Chain A
């Protein structure tokens, strides 16, 4: 079955340290992968996506993600975390279901950046 996994419910990082939020996927064909962020009491915001080309994708707010085909992963990273990065992060992958494309979403990872 096609799926997306975010194995960590919560990630705690000290401000200024690098952060990684993990995402792995299982889809048929070439994956289109996305990261979204949800700040408290706000709607989801697009961060970045991978469709093709360079495996390292740069997005909003200094975030980047690396597509690794052999490991079927698309981990979200940032070199130096800010307290304001504290939010809920969702990984998603586009899949073809019943002749229509949909996004399958991970369960989300709560990122807490401590000052």
Chain B
């Protein structure tokens, strides 16, 4: 596609429910990143995928968070047993290569609200 797409754009859920956020990166980009941005805050790195390598999960805040990337393309970020502090905008980005200083291209984000 022309850019990184994310769905849904907004998600409201109740505390304790599971949510899935989807990211469709730019075609051909081998690297995919998930970030979290709380209101008025900077970006918090969550996880990235590079090709078929094991993902770097070092930024995941707890074991309630997980992500997968199927077929080296679409990625799903899953948050289990959501908590109110999970409320944030979740951003996905992709880049052609992670080893070089390739530019990351961001999707519009998913705004998650946990009631």
Contacts and interface: CB of A to CB of B under 8 A. Distances in A.
A binds B: yes
Interface of A: 32, 34, 36, 42-46, 49, 51, 90, 94, 97-98, 100-103, 105-108
Interface residues of B, number: 21
B103 A106 contact: no
A103 B104 contact: yes
Interface of B: 4, 41-43, 45, 48, 50, 56, 58, 91, 93, 98-99, 101, 103-109
Contacts of B106: 36, 43-45
Contacts of B56: 98, 100, 102
A49 B91 contact: no
B108 A100 contact: no
Contact of B48 (A34, A51, A102): A102
Most buried by A among B42, B91, B98, B103: B42
A32 B97 CA distance: 14
Contacts of B101: 32, 34, 49, 51, 94, 101
A58 to B, nearest CB: 15
Contacts of A97: 58
A98 B58 contact: yes
Contacts of B42: 90, 105-108
A43 B108 contact: yes
Contacts of B105: 46
